[in-house]
Chain A
């Protein structure tokens, strides 16, 4: 990954607080809606899942694929985003 998106940088820049799930890099409106229907309405719920999966890239991407039908780029973005956030704030 040569560079990160603006969204990624925005997300990683500060604590996530009550940000909605669509603030995550790689999660747009469509995926956000799907995640919300699956019960993941806030970014921190996704973070929780991320942590429950022990930050395992493969499993998290798989999960995201299963849950909201994300493609590999979206899931990789989301994973990277959460990972960077964790590196920063956890």
Chain B
């Protein structure tokens, strides 16, 4: 098989793979190796179990052929066809026959043995044959074979032994890898032979005589054998009534070639069978049974349609296979099954004995080994009913025991079962009541005597399974008692009426045990279930809580976002820097939702107050009414921290090194407030506003001007004090990325430069633009 796969063409490989359920994929130089390996693996896996079965089926068929002479025609025809079908697939794998011949030295002894195992061994249904025996047992086997030939039905009941024998044969014919060689070696011959449909049959038939005659005549002397062979020869040669000289010559030249053809049939590889069955099933699914019948009915007729025949054969394959596997299973597992059954029986017996023994008080009591202290008059210490029993009263006492025992048992059972109000013992009074009721006598004294005797007996026979006990407290329902071990104690307790009888090892009845177990299991189950439910509930609640929190916070966040949107929008649109809180709420939340959303709103307001830097809450009077407002503090609208003034580089407050204590002049010169190439026409106004904004209202500035060439700003204040304020406000500040330095300027120099500058008010104020915080984008 494996060799075959190696030498398949790409197309064949693809077909094979498809048959085995592989996805069809391109077979290239690089994938071919892999796919071949895969196919081999699959074939190996599948052919191992199948091959043996096929072998069996095929060999069976060959047996049938032999037994019912004419049928062999059909079978071998089919085989020839099979072969032909196979040759089509293995065409590429053909090896030169010469090489094969050379490879296989024909062992003279081997080939008949082999033949036996192929065809003969199948007839040994009742006799599993080991290979090494085969040669020696040829005689019997041949006889058997003839017997089998008469009994064609036998092949259906084939045992596994034939497979075993097949497998164990050491003959080289058996090895799988070789078989393909043989196939190919026979192929040319078959090629010649197939033109008439039956030729392969003839080839087979004609081989057998040659082979057998040569081998048997050399190895056997038994006339029996010879006879049987003769008869066989006659049979087969009658079949082979049309062999041409061509074929016979073929076979006479190489004696083992014919046998290879049988091998081919016997070991017809799994794959080709499989594919054929597949196609047969596909094309002809119905009535396999009928075709099977057909085959039986037409035993020997050569004109069966090919397809139905094939199905028939395949069908028999399946049947064989099934029955064989069933048998195999049984055989393999017989011991283990038997063991299991034995163990089960053992335990069942044990259980049964236990049950029987438990309830059988009578047998225990009447046991000869019981210790019965008989009162004898000549012993002085004997007192009837106390430490001995009068002989004639022993049986009464035993009867009494038998009467009360079932009652006691049922009592203990019901006690064990947890019935309220029952006690696990019988007091003397109860026993006497029961006894008198049972006996229909009112002779209480007699009962009393019996009971006394019984107590003596029980104490003497602890193995009866009953105890005489002393009750701890008679009038409560507690079941406390201690066993009494001596007869003297009984006498003491008897007067108190606290003596009772109980079972020493009470057994709980099975049903009760079951119910009890159920109860305890049920209660624990309920507890577990409750706990589980509780846990689940808690988990659910926690989950819900977390979900709720999440939803709430999401609502709050969305609310906050909406609020901020509204604030920024409204403040921009209206020009007012703030907006009333209530107004925002009324904008966002519709009237019907306001009550409901109150908590969300409050949370959002709180959140904004705490976490929102762009919005500041303050109280403003809007239309004459103080209310909370949100002021939108966007970066550019902040009056104090405009984009221009970016922070202080060094300290200019009082006490610092950069601060002059006294301002010498009212005039200042400010450097680096603008660039040389800053050609903004409104630069002067802008600078003026920036300075005024920075200094706020703390100072009075008379005049501000700029000198574009030297990039200086000149400021004239109303007084030197004002100049000091400006100085401290501006000196050392970053303005639009530049560090500003301020110097005092003498007034006369200032007047020299700006002769027209005013010396008295009005003071400069912020232009309208800057007061609204809406500078044209500088």
Q: Which of A17-25, A26-34, A58-66, A76-84 contacts B (4 or more CB under 8 A)?
A: A58-66
List, in ascending order, chain A residues with CB within 8 A of B25's CB. 52-54, 56, 59
Name the prevailing secondary structure of the A interface residues.
Answer: helix
A56 to B38 Cα, complex, angstroms:
13
Residue of B nearest to A58 (CB): B38
Tell me how far the C-beta of A77 lies from the nearest C-beta in chain B, rounded to whole angstroms: 19
Chain A interface size, as a band, is: 10 to 19
List, in ascending order, chain B residues with CB within 8 A of A72's CB. none
Q: Is B85 an interface residue (CB 8 A)?
A: no
Tell me how far the C-beta of A40 lies from the nearest C-beta in chain B, rounded to whole angstroms: 9
List, in ascending order, chain A residues with CB within 8 A of B33's CB. 66
Q: Is the CB of B34 within 8 A of A52?
A: no
A36 to B74 Cα, complex, angstroms:
58
Residue of B nearest to A67 (CB): B30
A53 to B31 Cα, complex, angstroms:
7
List, in ascending order, chain A residues with CB within 8 A of B35's CB. 59
A52 to B38 Cα, complex, angstroms:
16
Tell me how far the C-beta of B354 lies from the nearest C-beta in chain A, rounded to whole angstroms: 58
A55 to B246 Cα, complex, angstroms:
56
Q: Is the CB of A63 within 8 A of B31?
A: yes
List, in ascending order, chain B residues with CB within 8 A of A4's CB. none
Q: Is A5 an interface residue (CB 8 A)?
A: no
Q: Is the CB of B26 within 8 A of A52?
A: yes
Q: Is the CB of B34 within 8 A of A63?
A: yes
List, in ascending order, chain B residues with CB within 8 A of A66's CB. 33-34, 37
Q: Render B19-34 as a binary contact track against A, CB cut-off 8 A, 1 for contact.
A: 0000101101011011
Total number of A-B contacts with CB less than 8 angstroms?
A: 29
Tell me how far the C-beta of A73 lies from the nearest C-beta in chain B, rounded to whole angstroms: 19
Q: Is A49 an interface residue (CB 8 A)?
A: yes
List, in ascending order, chain A residues with CB within 8 A of B38's CB. 59, 62
Near A by CB (< 8 A), chain B positions 33-61 give 33-35, 37-38
Q: Is the CB of A62 within 8 A of B34?
A: yes
Q: Is the CB of A52 within 8 A of B28?
A: yes
Residue of B nearest to A60 (CB): B34
Q: Is the CB of A56 within 8 A of B34?
A: no
List, in ascending order, chain B residues with CB within 8 A of A59's CB. 25, 31, 34-35, 38
Tell me how many residues of B have a C-beta within 8 Å of chain A.
11
A83 to B33 Cα, complex, angstroms:
23
The listed residue (B23, B31, B37) touching A49 by CB distance below 8 A is: B31
Q: Is the CB of A56 within 8 A of B31?
A: no
List, in ascending order, chain B residues with CB within 8 A of A67's CB. 30
Residue of A nearest to B34 (CB): A63
Q: Is the CB of B37 within 8 A of A52?
A: no
List, in ascending order, chain A residues with CB within 8 A of B31's CB. 49, 52-53, 59, 63
List, in ascending order, chain B residues with CB within 8 A of A53's CB. 25, 31, 34
Q: Is the CB of A54 within 8 A of B23?
A: yes
A5 to B23 Cα, complex, angstroms:
31
Name the prevailing secondary structure of the B interface residues.
Answer: helix
Residue of B nearest to A54 (CB): B25
A43 to B28 Cα, complex, angstroms:
18
Tell me how far the C-beta of B665 lies from the nearest C-beta in chain A, rounded to whole angstroms: 70
The listed residue (A49, A54, A56, A62) touching B30 by CB distance below 8 A is: A49
Near A by CB (< 8 A), chain B positions 84-103 give none
A56 to B28 Cα, complex, angstroms:
15
Residue of B nearest to A39 (CB): B30
A54 to B28 Cα, complex, angstroms:
13
Q: Render B189-212 as a binary contact track against A, CB cut-off 8 A, 1 for contact.
A: 000000000000000000000000
Tell me how far the C-beta of B567 lies from the nearest C-beta in chain A, rounded to whole angstroms: 44
Near A by CB (< 8 A), chain B positions 195-242 give none
List, in ascending order, chain B residues with CB within 8 A of A63's CB. 30-31, 34
Chain A CB count within 10 A is highest, among B26, B30, B31, B38, for B30
A49 to B38 Cα, complex, angstroms:
16
Q: Is the CB of B26 within 8 A of A62?
A: no
List, in ascending order, chain A residues with CB within 8 A of B26's CB. 52
List, in ascending order, chain A residues with CB within 8 A of B30's CB. 49, 52, 63, 67
List, in ascending order, chain A residues with CB within 8 A of B37's CB. 62, 66
List, in ascending order, chain B residues with CB within 8 A of A62's CB. 34, 37-38
List, in ascending order, chain B residues with CB within 8 A of A52's CB. 25-26, 28, 30-31
Residue of A nearest to B33 (CB): A66
Tell me how far the C-beta of B661 lies from the nearest C-beta in chain A, rounded to whole angstroms: 68
Tell me how far the C-beta of A70 lies from the nearest C-beta in chain B, rounded to whole angstroms: 13
Tell me how far the C-beta of A84 lies from the nearest C-beta in chain B, rounded to whole angstroms: 21
Tell me how far the C-beta of A56 lies from the nearest C-beta in chain B, rounded to whole angstroms: 6
A67 to B37 Cα, complex, angstroms:
13
A52 to B35 Cα, complex, angstroms:
12
A59 to B26 Cα, complex, angstroms:
13
Residue of B nearest to A65 (CB): B34
Residue of B nearest to A59 (CB): B34
A67 to B35 Cα, complex, angstroms:
13
A71 to B23 Cα, complex, angstroms:
24
A53 to B22 Cα, complex, angstroms:
11
A63 to B25 Cα, complex, angstroms:
14
List, in ascending order, chain B residues with CB within 8 A of A56's CB. 23, 25
Tell me how far the C-beta of B20 lies from the nearest C-beta in chain A, rounded to whole angstroms: 13
A52 to B29 Cα, complex, angstroms:
11
Residue of B nearest to A45 (CB): B30
A59 to B30 Cα, complex, angstroms:
12
A59 to B25 Cα, complex, angstroms:
11
Tell me how far the C-beta of B589 lies from the nearest C-beta in chain A, rounded to whole angstroms: 47
A52 to B37 Cα, complex, angstroms:
17
Tell me how far the C-beta of B473 lies from the nearest C-beta in chain A, rounded to whole angstroms: 72
Chain A CB count within 10 A is highest, among B28, B33, B34, for B34
A63 to B35 Cα, complex, angstroms:
9
Chain B CB count within 10 A is highest, among A49, A59, A66, for A59
Tell me how far the C-beta of B14 lies from the nearest C-beta in chain A, rounded to whole angstroms: 13
Tell me how far the C-beta of B4 lies from the nearest C-beta in chain A, rounded to whole angstroms: 21
Near A by CB (< 8 A), chain B positions 369-395 give none
Chain A CB count within 10 A is highest, among B28, B31, B35, for B31
List, in ascending order, chain A residues with CB within 8 A of B28's CB. 52
A52 to B28 Cα, complex, angstroms:
9
A4 to B770 Cα, complex, angstroms:
60
A54 to B35 Cα, complex, angstroms:
13
Tell me how far the C-beta of A38 lies from the nearest C-beta in chain B, rounded to whole angstroms: 8
A25 to B773 Cα, complex, angstroms:
62
Residue of A nearest to B26 (CB): A52
Tell me how far the C-beta of B559 lies from the nearest C-beta in chain A, rounded to whole angstroms: 40
Tell me how far the C-beta of B23 lies from the nearest C-beta in chain A, rounded to whole angstroms: 6
A66 to B38 Cα, complex, angstroms:
12
Residue of A nearest to B30 (CB): A49
A52 to B24 Cα, complex, angstroms:
10
A88 to B26 Cα, complex, angstroms:
24
List, in ascending order, chain A residues with CB within 8 A of B34's CB. 53, 59, 62-63, 66
A49 to B35 Cα, complex, angstroms:
13
A66 to B37 Cα, complex, angstroms:
10
Near A by CB (< 8 A), chain B positions 717-755 give none
Residue of A nearest to B28 (CB): A52
A79 to B37 Cα, complex, angstroms:
20
Known: A53-B31, A54-B23. 13 other contacts (CB 8 A): A49-B30, A49-B31, A52-B25, A52-B30, A53-B25, A54-B25, A56-B25, A59-B31, A62-B34, A63-B34, A66-B33, A66-B34, A67-B30
Residues of B within 8 A of A (CB): 23, 25-26, 28, 30-31, 33-35, 37-38
List 20 A-B pairs, Cβ < 8 Å.
A49-B30, A49-B31, A52-B26, A52-B30, A52-B31, A53-B25, A53-B31, A56-B23, A59-B25, A59-B31, A59-B34, A59-B38, A62-B34, A62-B37, A63-B30, A63-B31, A63-B34, A66-B33, A66-B37, A67-B30
Q: Which 7 A-B pairs have the closest CB atoms?
A: A63-B34, A54-B25, A52-B26, A54-B23, A62-B34, A52-B31, A49-B30
